[in-house]
Amino acid sequence: MESEYRKVLDFLYAQLPMYQRMGAAAYKTDLKNTLDLCSALGNPEKNFKSIHIAGTNGKGSTSHALAAIFQTHGYKTGLYTSPHLVDFRERIKINGEMIPKEEVIRFTKDHKNLLNRIQPSFFEMTVALAFEYFSKEKVDVAIIETGMGGRLDSTNVVYPLVSVITNIGMDHTEFLGNSVQKIAVEKAGIIKKNVPVVIGETSSDTQEIFLNKALECDSSIFFADNNPKYYNTLIESDLIGGYQQKNLLTVLQTCDVLLETGYEFNTFKIADALQNVKSLTGLRGRWDVLKNSPFTVMDCAHNAAGLKEAMLELGKQTYKELFMVFGMVKEKDLNTILSVLPKNAHYIFCQPSIPRAKNAHELYKEALHAGLRGEVVESVSEAYNKAALIAKSQDAVYIGGSTFVVADFLSGN
């Protein structure tokens, strides 16, 4: 069965364009393929309740935290996220358990002619697989995370109980627009008629866009960080980092909204869920502390806003010397990202093993111009091994710059 599963994955990766690996060549500008796929499958997305989550940063943590809360309350909970770190099946889970390999094999075999006819992207195919699986397994609720943007994202065919937009930052500007206002318009595309929407972070640059879209859709709108109920509240969780407080506040506001739709949540169960998000859902790579001597952490922050938050968290640590195992993908705003990185660190620049990866030698040269110092060790695993070799017990090692650096580290690439 393992060899058959590998063949199925090889088919999917070879035949269907995948944005995470290829970039722009796989980007679609409409929902036609997803709508056609769902129609051919009997519209499985209509057979379960859902919560739809978009945002520049934090949507993965928010999705997993909400899933943990529903699981703790006894709901059969689907969770769709992207990208995966090690195993493709991480994208599709029920109650923290990955979709069985047999289901991936069955879906691809049963619908091979359909996939060949429609020629969906990798992401479109995966969304259809998730929806059919959640429908087949009769989940009580599914937490659905967008891949990129919102309005044209393949997941935007669900009609959820509540829409959630965590925040807006500058990322994927080549597709979503070169300003936070344009990006906000794309994210606001997940707001549906008469469906309440939660905004995680209020910004004067984008607030009016969300208010107008909510008004247009007759949707009630809630700004989580403006809720006096949670002012000056420290929310305890195994999701560590000051920036996670913003995500957790968004989660609690979403639960408050869901109370109005008939769900009942127990305060103690919510607290228990938030302290066990990782074990309940299998979340990895969000301020993931690997060891304390030397302090070693990996993090999936991959744009300027996310990395700025991660560097603030890193600045709270006590260490003698800092080693940064760092790599990126090509299309990011390199100058802005380099400007938020610490200059008093030793960088080991590396290159994640995907076609979109930024060449490590080019990254090194541009980093030198930004006042950063270091060296190049191309593979992520070798770069980490170099850092681990020279870092002493009182030092710190950070592994990140891209989700795919973390993925390669976990995979040993």
Q: Where are the domains of the chain?
A: 2-281, 288-411
Residue type, position 64, single letter: H
CA dihedral 93, 94, 100, 103 (to 10 degrees): -90
Report whether 394 contacts 296 (CB < 8 A). no
The pLDDT score that the predictor gives to residue 116 is 87
Tell me the CATH number of domain 288-411, given options 3.80.30.20, 3.40.50.720, 3.90.190.20, 3.50.30.60: 3.90.190.20
Q: Residues 201-248: pLDDT tens digits? A: 999 999 999 999 999 999 999 999 999 998 888 999 999 988 899 999
CB atoms within 10 A of CB 23: 18
Angle at 22 between CA 378 and CA 311, to 5 degrees: 55
Average pLDDT over residues 324-335: 92
Q: What is the pLDDT at residue 388?
A: 97
Cα–Cα distance, 291 to 300 (Å, whole number): 17
Amino acid at 157: V
Cβ atoms of residues 203 and 271 within 8 Å: no
Contact call for residues 78 and 130 (beta carbons, < 8 A): yes
- Look at 24-38, 51-65, 292-306 and tell me which has the smallest mean pLDDT: 24-38
Residue 50 pLDDT > 60: yes
Yes or no: say if 210 and 164 are a contact pair by the CB < 8 Å rule: no
| Residue 21 confidence class, pLDDT cut points 50, 70, 90 | very low
pLDDT above 90 coverage of the chain, percent? 80
> Residue 258's Cα: distance from chain center in Å?
22
Q: pTM for the whole thing?
A: 0.93
Band of pLDDT at residue 20, cut at 50, 70 and 90: very low
Beta bridge partners of 93: 79, 98
Strands ordered across the beta sheet of 141-145? 97-98, 92-94, 77-80, 141-145, 49-54, 162-165, 197-199, 221-223
Number of Cβ atoms within 10 Å of the Cβ of 86:
14
Q: What is the pLDDT of residue 19?
A: 47
Q: Please, which residues bridge with residue 291 across strands?
A: 296
- Identify the band that residue 22 occupies on the pLDDT scale cut at 50, 70 and 90: very low
pLDDT exceeds cutoff 60 at 24: no
Task: State residue 171's pLDDT score.
Answer: 52
State the pLDDT at residue 120. Answer: 87
Which among 41, 244, 274, 238 is positioned nearest to 135, based on CA atoms? 41
Q: Return the CATH superfamily for domain 2-281.
A: Mur-like, catalytic domain (3.40.1190.10)
The three-class DSSP label of residue 94 is: strand
Residue 28: pLDDT over 70 = no
To which residue do tokens 């910004």 refer?
203
Alpha carbons 12 and 365: distance in angstroms, whole number: 36
pLDDT at 17 exceeding the cut of 60: no
Q: Give the model's pLDDT for residue 387.
A: 98
What's residue 176's pLDDT? 57
Does residue 23 carry a pLDDT above 50? Answer: no
Distance, CA of 245 to CA of 65 (rounded, Å): 12
Placement of tokens 């969780």 in the chain: 237
Higher pLDDT, 123 or 36: 36
Which of 222-226, 242-246, 287-291, 298-302 has the least mean pLDDT?
242-246
pLDDT digits (tens, 9 = 90+) for 67-94: 999 999 999 999 999 999 999 999 999 9
Alpha helices in 137-229 (DSSP H): 173-176, 180-187, 207-216
Dihedral pair phi/psi, residue 260, rounded to 5°: -75, -15
Express each pLDDT in 162-193 by its tens digit. 999 999 875 544 555 558 899 899 999 999 99
> Where on the phi/psi map is residue 54: left (φ > 0), alpha (ψ -120 to 50), or beta?
beta
Average pLDDT, the chain: 92
Residue 131, SS3?
helix
Strand segments, DSSP code E, in 166-263 are 197-199, 221-223
- Rounded to the nearest angstrom, the gap between the alpha carbon of residue 140 and the centroid of all alpha carbons in its chain is 22
pLDDT of residue 233: 85
Which string of b and e fits 48-67 if b means at least 16 CB within 10 Å? bbbbbbbbbbbbbbbbbbbb
- Rounded-to-integer distance, Cα 33 and Cα 16, Å: 12
Minimal CA–CA distance to 128: which of 141, 150, 119, 65? Answer: 119
